[in-house]
Structure formats: C-alpha cells, structure tokens
Structure 1
C-alpha cells in the first residue's frame, strides 16, 4: 500500500506544485514566455518568413502509397481452408459468402514503412473506417513479406495466419488489393504548406541530444558535489520547518468508510443490461474456460480478493468517532496548505537569493561550479541544479543540460515531461535557439511525451498554447497544414502533428473562421490523396468537438455534414453530443 501511495504522490506532486500558475507560469503578456523572449522569437520568425519567400516552390511532395482493398478476418478451424482459397485467388465476395468472415470491409488503404525498435524494417497497410471510427492494420517484417509475396499487389491477397501458443486457436487476417498501392504528387498549395513547415521546423535538429548522451536518473552515488552545494544553499537560505502531513490519511479514511458502509446493492437483481458495469479484462492473462461468465464477476475471477492486515493508521481511525476523524482530516489538510504556501514563498525568492549568493559568497560559487562540473562528468542532473545554472553560470549551459536529460512520466497525471519541455522552450527562446524552441513548444501542444501509462482522464489539465505561436506572426494555417499532411519518404526528423491534439489547439485559435474554411477545402479537395483527406476529416471532427459552445459545434458540424456525400469515402460526420 505504501508503494501505491508513494507512486500516486509522485504523479500528483508536479501538478500540485504548479497550481499557483495553472499548468505553467503566465507572464504579464498573458503568455508562458516573457515579453523579452517573445520579442527575440518574433525577430527570428520575421527572418524565416523572408527566407521562405525565396524557396523553390516547384518541388512536389509525394503522398503515402495508396490503393483500395478488402480487409478480412476469420477465426476458428476453417482458417487453413480459407487460406488455401486465398492462395488460389478466390474473389473477396465469394470468400465472404463461403466462410461468413468475422470482419469484411471494403475501404481505401495506405502503405507505410518504418524501422522498429529492434532495427528491423517493417511494412504495413492501414484502412480507416470513418463510419465506425475504427481502423484495420496488417503488418510484416519487410524481409518476410518479400519472401512470401510478389509485387505488384493488384488482384492479390496478402495474409497473416497465426496459431496461438496459448490455446492453439487459429486466426487469419488478410487484405485483397483491388489495385497496387501508388504514391501521387501533392497539389502545389499543399506542397507549399509542407515547405513552410520545413522552413520553420529544422529537420536536422531534435529537442533531445543523442540518446547515448542522455543524463541518467538522478543518482546520489555521483552527486556528492551537488549534495554539498544544495545543503549549503539551504543553510544560507533556510526553509520554514514544514508541519506534519500524512499522505495516506485520506486514502485510508476512504477505505475505512467503504468498509463501514453497508452494501445495499448486493440483493438487487439486474433487470436490464444497462445496469451492468463492464470491466476491461486482459484476455491474454485469463483462461476463460475456467470462468463461468454468466455467474461470476470477471473482475473477481481475474483479480481474486486477498485479505490484507489493516495498517496502524486504519486501526487508529477505526477507534475514533466521526467527529474526531473529521478534525484529523481538517488539520492534515490545513498543514498541507500551510506547507504549500511556505514552499511557494521560498520558491518565489529563490532566484534572487541564488544570484545574490553567487555574486557575493565565494564558497557558494565554488560549490556550484563543482556541482556543475560533476554533473557534466557523470551525466547526472536534476531540475534544481539546472535552474540554478540558468540563473548564474548561464542559460545556454542549462539548456544543454536539460537537452541531455530525458524525463519519462510515471503516470498519466505526471506533468514532469511537460514541465521539462516548457523549461527547454523557455531557455531556447531566451538564447534564440529557434529550432529547439519550436520543436519543444510543438511537443507541448501535441502532448508528445513518454509516460509509463497515459490515461485520457489527465488530458483536460494540459493546454495547447496555440496563442503563443499566433503572437509570433507565424503563418499558423500553413504550419498546421504542413504538419498534418502525411508524405512518403519523409526525413527522419520530419515533424508530424497529432491529429487529436491539433484539433483541440485550433479550437482555441483566434482565427477559427479561416481554419474551418481551410480544413473543409482540404477534405473536399479532389486533387488531394484520399488518406490525407481522411486525416483532415478527423482533424475537423476534433476541432468541432473542442469548440467551447454547443451552438458553435452545431454550426461547424453542419458544414462538415453538408460535404459528406461528395467524399470518396463513407463517413458518419458530426453527431451532436448529448
């Protein structure tokens, strides 16, 4: 239990610490970057816009290779027979009638290739079903695909037959290609938008430095100099002694209240399916032949109850009256608010105190430089040291340290990766490293970070900060077009935006009228490839979903629904949220 509470505290702590600012500190200009930093960035954008005007606009980018096909899946003992029919060239409709396939869909498809984490070349095809908001994928190692199938793929089956090691069940997934996947040139205006994105986003740079140079997790074994420095800092700038706070108190009290509350639902029979709470079960870990799902709660079957010895805190609360428990909770919460207020005061004055000590205290300066050299030697750093380096030795040095330290979130509510990216963006802005600034800011806007787990319930607290880009005089519409469009053989560090997050960002834009018009034009552009038109359809839906008022959603949604009949794919369109 202590481990769970500690993990929860680690996830929540960064959010709690930033509550006084919202997610990030907002400056007097209403932005998360200071007026001085914005001024420097605007000067760079002006230069880049002038540079873009003399680009070679004759270059055309290629779409992802695309075709049409049938996607089929089948499970059970007839998979081998169906596989033989596919090898013999049986038509999709005939196969459907013969086997009553589990899945049968006729959809546009696009081909993609990439290198996976094992450095293996992969090839795959994806089909987007916009009616059911679903997708179908089929993927192979490139070498395996080339040994099994011969190109061109028109009028041929590509299939994957598998037998489960667990229960020997058979599964067949296949695509029948009605044509060979082919790339086409993007129209001039969309190629121009991609060029604009490439002009603004340097594909030779990355936010983080080389993986092998990344700082390891902060390890006390190689941070003795930092420990000495930080101890001296806290000696010279004392913190107020914190009041006792118990992180487990609220959780334990909830547990006790649940145990003391009678279960009034136990005798109530389910009279409709609407009253059943379905529990997601990891089917790879459960033998369903051992579970009678008609009579047993699957959650209990998968995770059987194990009794635990009550903690001392639980027993202590159990002996208290409700009034005494409430007094204890109130005192605990008051102590938390007190500690938070004192920490905020200490933090608000830290930069000034550090700079004064650095200028007047030789021992402080010596210890800091020792900690800095130690950090570089052993690739060990943390937020505290990097902040102090930025205030004293220099922001360029702090920026390099931050770019060498990769932060991975412990859970979906862990804001540390976003905070780290925003601090990189701030330092990059202050030191006029545009190429680092824009990538880092786009990562924040697209919420592109590594997390151990990432539940959607944490998304609401993360903002997109599109306003920060709008004030820099960037051609935002062309930038969004450029990072939305998917192209064939893109460079390794080409920036592709997240469709969902960009839709949310555009809903916060100051220029929504032009944004709606531009996206709808892309959806209906007959000279644009089908896959990119599908992506703009999803972008528009996400934009509509995030508009602040229902009336705005209704109007924008109606505009999308009015063009559905003219599209080369079927789509459900906007559906009002109840």
Structure 2
C-alpha cells in the first residue's frame, strides 16, 4: 500500500509544482482530442440529434408543493403541543395557546420521496431556502404521507435528552400539496434532455463494484500480478517505506504512547534526516518521471519479446471481467493490446469513490470513460459521463467546499458538438414528479457555474429571467431557475455585468408571489 501512497504523493507534489490544470488539454483547447471530437460530431450528425423531434405527447408534472407556516416550540410545553397537533388544532388557536412559538409564515414546501443508500424509502418535506433563517426539513423513513400528515400538520417532536431539550418543529399547511401540469414549452426541454442523454442506458453495469483509487492489495488477483510482472521486468524505481514515513510525518507517531513528545535533540536529528530524505525523494521522483515517459514504448518491446506477455494479460483480463478487480494501469494495457471496447467495459464495472477532497480519481475515471466512449462511438455513455464531470456527481468519503473550485465544468466541449446545450441544461435543471427512469437531474450550483462559461450567455439570461417571471410555471421551478441565475451571475468575471444582471433579476423576481418576494435575500 505504501508504494501506492508514494504514487499519490508524487501526483500531489507534481500538481503543486506546476500551474494546476485538472485535465490535460489537447491542441484544440479541449479535454477531448480533435479525433474524439470528430467522432462525436459524426455521431451527432448520424443520429440527427441537432434536429431530432422528440415525442411531445408525454405530460410532465411539477414536484408536489404546498404553502406552509413553519413553527418551532422548545420547552416543557412541546409534548402538550404535539397532542394538540395530532388533533389538528387550528393555526390561530395554536398561537394563542403557545405564544412563545417561533413562526416563519408562508414557505414553499416540497414533498419528495426517494430511496436512501440502504434502499430504504425516505419521505422528505423541505422548504426552499430564500434566506439564512428559512432552512427547514423533515425526514420520515418507511412511512407514507397518511402516517405523517395530521390534518394540516407535519411535525417532528424531540423528547428531552441528556444533552438536548424537549421541542417540536412543524409545518402548518396553508395550501395543500399539489402537482401542476408543466406547460408544453417546458415539457419539451425535459423530453429533449431525455432524448439526448438516452435514459435507457447507464454508465455503469448492473453489478459494478465500488472501488477506491487503488485496489485492495491484501487480496491477491491476476490484474495486480500482471502489473507487478511489468514493473519488475521494466525495473520500476522504488523508494524505502521507512523513509517515506519520515516524509509523511508518520515516523513521529507512537500509537501506543500518542502523547509522547520528541526531545529537542531527537527533533533536531529528525529534521536533519528529513532534509536528506526529501532530497532522495526528489531524485526518486525524477527517476519515476523518466520511467513513466518510456513505459509504453518499453512495454511494447516486452510484448514483442516475451511469449508469456499476452497469455498473462488475457488470463488477468478474464478474471477482471468477473470480479471487477482492476485499476487504471491494467485497463490501459487491456485497451492497448486487447481492445478499447474491452477497456471501457472494465471501467464500467468499477464505481470509483473518492477518498477525500484532494482525491480526483472519480473525475479522472469519468473522463477515461468519456474518452473511451467517444473512441468507441458510444454516445449514450459519453454524454452521461461528461455530465457527471460537469455536475461533479461522484461519491466521496469526505469533501470540502474549498476543493470544488478547482473542478471545472467543461461546457465548451459539448457546445462544440453543436447540440442545443441550453435546452439540455434547462431540461436537467427542472424538477418533476414523474420523470423517466434514469432521468438526469443536474446540480443547480454546478450548472450555474457552467453557464457562466457558455458562449450563449445573453440567450441564457433572457430565457432564465423569462422563466422566473412566467406565472404558468410552478413556483418551485421558477425559484430553481432563480437559484440557477444567481449561481450563474456569481461566477461571472465581469463585475459590471453582474451588477446589470442583479437589476434585471430584481424586476423578474417582483413577478413572483408576494409571499416569496418578501423572503428573497439578494445580499
């Protein structure tokens, strides 16, 4: 494992030394080569995607939404209040009886049902956060609405605990939940996105396994044995594990005596040793660069001169197909000496999970899938994988917001394919009650950033502002487009442009319902 950690460390060091670019850019300025882009354009032309007329007969409905007051009451009256709520006490009577109740009136509340990571049904009620003080939500597992809605009330009661007081939070429904028919012009956007993305296809195979940056070295497997064979024959440089511990600061940790501190003499000796080791590590890095630069040429020679090369590779590939135990370097060899289609299928058998904010392996895995899909003319896999990069839709053990700015959106790559990118992105921004299976829902934050880099800014602004003003569109989706516009505007580089847009936005949001306008905080 330490050998693999060294590779990670080398990668981080190399990124710090260089001006950081997340992915390699080709001569065309894109993350896909001109050859790949040409293949994708031919696919677009052959499928007639630019002019494709989708079936507009399907009707789409908005997410179920209501208007509700939020109430919160802490203290020993909460249990009594719970009993009154279950009897469907009126709002006015509740306030009279419990005058210390904190109330936020007329919120837009959404009902949403989904499956969690354990495949358990979750019923969620949440309101749109228009200011910092208006963020509330309730979650109910394995319950239906008839069990959690008591007349006009939805509540969450907390008994007094060792470290928390008794309290109750509730929504009082002023207007019941309803799902509205989306106007045809918005249904067309959703249908277009479904046609373009192809919801019948998925990136990963049904039995794909979750993996991390590197496979588990404790479990022997033939793909790893093949990599070890290549590295041994090609004499990959090595670095002492104990010295690596010094660089990582692991040598100062005493797990049996965690509070033990080094003496001044020990600390000085360690610092001197660390300086020497760091220089050795720099030389090791230089050797690794040289080794890596010639690796593919030398492995070609190995393949041509060692009769065991292909049998070993084919045997390892056969195992990898069954147990999904492969990783990038082995898959690269499969692509070179078996087929690109075979390499793509191995990658589709692995869902890469990021270890932390600095771990870019999920995004690199998605890019590899997108590139291979372009090379093997699998449009349906390509577009979903590229959208995942744009929306940063990946699993990570932990993720800090500070790292997200370095993850670009790459909107130009799909704009250069001459598809209707604005229709696509609006189509995956809208929310609906009856989506097609595998419908792609975009991230409002990420899409706003992507659109700020679009070549069609003026068209986006005009269309978004018109959607915010449109009384035929449900309030939830109008507000989502408002959020989309705010994120877009925040990411623009021109401050004068931002100020002009904010003035336009003020006019557009004035067309929203009064109970919404009064809560919007533009600061």
| The two structures share one fold, judged by TM-score above 0.5 | yes
CA distance in 1, matches of 2:269, 2:164: 55
The offset of 1:215, in angstroms, is 6.6
Alignment match, 2:107: 107
Q: How does 1:474-493 map to 2 (within 5 A)?
A: 474-493=419-438
Residues in 1 aligned to 2:24 and 2:144: alpha-carbon distance in whole angstroms: 52
1:393 CA displacement:
0.8
1:431 and 2:372 correspond? no
Number of matched residues? 512
- Encode CA deviations 1:122-142: one digit per residue, 9 max, x unaligned: 323211131337432123245
Per-residue Cα deviation, 1:68-118 (whole angstroms, up to 9, x for no partner) = 111112222111222233234433344335422245332112211123334
Alignment CA distance shift 1:239-1:254 (3 Å): closer
Normalising by structure 2, report the TM-score.
0.87
Q: Which of 364, 379, 391 is the matching residue for 1:419?
A: 364
Partner of 1:128: 128
Partner of 1:202: 198
Q: Alpha-carbon deviation of 1:447?
A: 0.9
Q: Which range is displaced more, 556-565 or 220-229?
A: 220-229
User: 1:12, CA displacement in angstroms?
Assistant: 5.7
Would you say the 8 A contact 1:71–1:173 is kept in 2?
A: yes
- Flag structure 2 segments of 5+ consecutive residues without an equivalent: none
Give the 3-state SS of the residue equivalent to 2:194 in structure 1. helix
Q: Is the 8 A contact 2:190 2:430 kept in 1?
A: yes
Residue 166 of structure 2 is aligned with which of 170, 175, 187?
A: 170
* Alignment check: 8 A CA contact 1:357 1:365 kept: no
2:261 corresponds to 1:310: yes
* 1:356 Cα deviation from its structure 2 partner: 4.2
CA contact (8 A) 2:107 2:128 kept: yes
* CA distance in structure 1 between the partners assigned to 2:169 and 2:8 by the alignment: 40
Distance 2:468 2:326 in 1: 47
**Shift in Å at residue 541 of structure 1?**
1.0
Q: How does 1:459-470 map to 2 (within 5 A)?
A: 459-470=404-415
- The worse-fitting range, judged by mean Cα deviation, of 549-558 and 64-73 is 549-558
| 1:116 maps to 2:107 | no
Moved more, 337-346 or 38-47: 337-346
Is 2:227 the partner of 1:230?
yes
Summarize the Cα distance change of 1:250–1:51 in structure 2 as closer, same or farther, 3 Å threshold.
closer
Secondary structure at the aligned position of 1:406 is classed as strand
SS at match of 2:125: strand
Distance change in 2, residues 1:431/1:85 (3 Å):
same
- In structure 2, relative to structure 1, the CA distance for the partners of 1:162 and 1:384 (3 Å cut) is same
Give 2:22's aligned residue: 23
- Tell me the CA shift for residue 454 of structure 1: 0.8
Tell me the secondary structure at the aligned position of residue 140 of structure 2: strand
CA contact (8 A) 2:123 2:144 kept: no
* SS state at 1:349 partner: helix
SS state of the match for residue 172, structure 2? strand
Q: 1:207 is paired with a residue of what secondary structure?
A: coil
Pair 1:540–1:10, CA change in 2 (3 A): farther
Residue of structure 2 equivalent to 1:556? 501
Deviations 1:310-365 (A, max 9, x none): 359x8543358xxxx5x877665554444434333333333333344334532222
Structure 1 residue 254: deviation in Å?
A: 13
1:190 maps to which residue?
186
Which whole-Å CA distance do the structure 2 matches of 1:10 and 1:63 have between them? 48
Q: How far apart in 1 are the matches of 2:4 and 2:165?
A: 39
Partners of 1:232 and 1:364 within 8 A in 2: no
Contact kept in structure 2, 1:243 and 1:339, CA below 8 Å: no
Is the 8 Å Cα contact of residues 211 and 353 (structure 2) preserved in structure 1?
no
Shift of 1:400: 0.9
The answer to whether the Cα contact below 8 Å between 2:208 and 2:350 also exists between their aligned partners in 1 is no
- Counterpart contact for 1:228–1:367, Cα < 8 Å: no
* Aligned Cα root-mean-square deviation (Å): 3.3
Task: Please report how far the alpha carbon of residue 482 of structure 1 lies from its aligned counterpart in structure 2 after TM superposition.
Answer: 0.5
Question: For the Cα contact (< 8 Å) 1:10–1:414, is it kept in 2?
Answer: no
Contact 2:464 2:485 in 1 (8 A): yes
Quote the offset at 1:309 in angstroms: 1.3
Q: 1:8 and 1:552, CA in 2 relative to 1: closer, same or farther beyond 3 A?
A: farther
Give the TM-score normalised by the residue count of structure 1.
Answer: 0.80
